């Protein structure tokens, strides 16, 4: 169609040469208005039909100018094969237009593409290698692009807490997702073992106190003793937050992970009951209770051999023997 038009149009342009001077600017604004009317995109055909007065060349140059000003997007139509759609670019995203692009057209295209990818990864960020595979740019060019975008304060690099060498890029004002920074237990990309330990001890102490209380209250009834020594995770969260050990307020999930480590230590046990109130766990209440161990210590470790660091090297006739073992000497007071 375009070609047939091309043959006819040159005849028309000669007649409307005087008005063609105004047409470029008007054409652009009218194209923009048309695009605004159809936010899903204006096809080539519609443009042709709307602007019969303009030549194809004028239209094409107007469209190119609009594209370079980043006011519209060029898209391929999915409904009709081979045609193009022009879509108004979101003004909220007019940041693109504020990019003062220097250095020529190709770099700014690449920057735009890279910027688009980074934006799509939202708060998880995207790794450099992924950008490379998606855009198929070479490393050097990609590095330059990323550097320029960083200097324009559009994207930033965030170090992951799990792999310290890996950097992901995300938009400047995005807050990184908790999976990268580590969440409550990590501060400055370091695991806060001390904090976790303190919380651990506090929870254990609270549960132990509750157990002692229940023993005092019900010395004769074991069942009541057991039920009254339970504390729910919500109760524990409120207590811990009141104590003010942590600078941030902890959620039920956080406390439950601390309590899970206490279960693994063998100090407490857990039961789940249905609850009437709708809370974070959703109709389930987790109860915890301090327990007494089955065995205070195994006889295997009651003698020095159980915890001897050189146990494997100890032989009958060697440098390390039971006959002259210094640990045994100490144990027997020799």
- What does the binding site for another protein look like in residue numbers (CB under 8 A)? 185, 191, 193, 196, 220-223, 226, 257-258, 261, 263-266, 291-303, 305-307, 311, 314, 316, 321-323, 325, 328, 331-334
Nearer Cβ to another protein (99/328)? 328
Long-range pairs for 34-43: beta carbons < 8 A, 24 or more residues apart: 35/72, 35/86, 35/87, 35/88, 36/88, 39/87, 39/88, 40/85, 40/87, 41/75, 41/77, 41/85, 41/86, 41/87, 42/85, 42/86, 42/87, 43/77, 43/80, 43/83, 43/84, 43/85, 43/86
Question: Which CA distances in Å does 130 have to 126, 151, 153, 178, 245?
Answer: 7, 21, 21, 21, 41
Nearer Cβ to another protein (123/261)? 261
Query: CB under 8 Å to 255, separation ≥6 — which residues?
Result: 199, 203, 233, 236, 237, 240
Give the residue from 8, 44, 52, 1 showing the smallest Cα distance to 27.
Answer: 52
Least CB distance to another protein at residue 301 (A): 4
Would you say 217 and 228 are in contact if contact means Cβ atoms under 8 Å apart?
yes
SS3 257: helix
Nearer Cβ to another protein (109/321)? 321
Least CB distance to another protein at residue 257 (A): 7
Least CB distance to another protein at residue 323 (A): 4
SS3 30: helix
Least CB distance to another protein at residue 165 (A): 15
| Angstrom distance (rounded) from CA 251 to CA 28 | 55
Nearer Cβ to another protein (99/291)? 291
Least CB distance to another protein at residue 262 (A): 9
Nearer Cβ to another protein (51/327)? 327
Least CB distance to another protein at residue 185 (A): 7
Nearer Cβ to another protein (18/296)? 296
Nearer Cβ to another protein (162/283)? 162
Least CB distance to another protein at residue 274 (A): 19
| Angstrom distance (rounded) from CA 306 to CA 64 | 82
Nearer Cβ to another protein (192/235)? 192
**Is the alpha carbon torsion for 20, 22, 26, 28 positive or negative?**
positive
Strand partners, 167: 159
Least CB distance to another protein at residue 125 (A): 19
């Amino acid at each position: 169609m375009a070609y047939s038009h091309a043959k006819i149009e040159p005849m028309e342009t000669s007649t409307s040469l005087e008005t063609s001077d105004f047409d470029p600017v008007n054409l652009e604004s009218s194209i923009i208005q048309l695009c605004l009317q159809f936010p899903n995109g204006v096809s080539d055909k519609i443009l042709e039909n709307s602007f019969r007065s303009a030549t194809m060349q004028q239209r094409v140059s107007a469209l190119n100018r609009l594209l370079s000003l980043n006011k519209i997007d060029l898209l391929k139509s999915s409904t009709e094969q081979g045609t193009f759609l022009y879509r108004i670019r979101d003004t909220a995203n007019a940041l693109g237009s504020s990019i003062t692009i220097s250095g020529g057209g190709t770099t700014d295209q690449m920057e735009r593409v890279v910027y688009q990818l980074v934006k799509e990864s939202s708060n998880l960020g995207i790794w450099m290698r992924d950008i490379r595979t998606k855009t198929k740019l070479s490393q050097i060019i990609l590095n330059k692009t990323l550097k320029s975008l960083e200097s324009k304060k559009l994207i930033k690099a965030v170090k992951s807490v799990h792999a310290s060498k890996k950097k992901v890029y995300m938009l400047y004002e995005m807050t990184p997702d908790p999976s990268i920074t580590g969440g409550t237990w990590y501060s400055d990309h370091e695991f806060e073992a001390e904090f976790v330990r303190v919380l651990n001890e506090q929870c254990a102490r609270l549960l132990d106190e509750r157990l002692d209380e229940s023993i005092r209250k019900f010395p004769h009834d074991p069942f009541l003793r057991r039920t009254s020594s339970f504390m729910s995770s919500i109760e524990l969260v409120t207590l811990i937050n009141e104590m003010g050990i942590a600078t941030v307020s902890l959620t039920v999930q956080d406390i439950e992970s601390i309590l899970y480590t206490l279960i693994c230590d063998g100090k407490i046990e857990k039961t789940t009951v249905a609850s009437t109130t709708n809370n974070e766990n959703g109709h389930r209440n987790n109860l915890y209770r301090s327990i007494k161990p089955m065995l205070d210590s195994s006889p295997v470790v009651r003698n020095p051999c159980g915890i001897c660091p050189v146990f494997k090297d100890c032989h009958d006739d060697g440098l390390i023997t039971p006959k002259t073992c210094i640990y045994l000497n100490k144990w027997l007071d020799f």
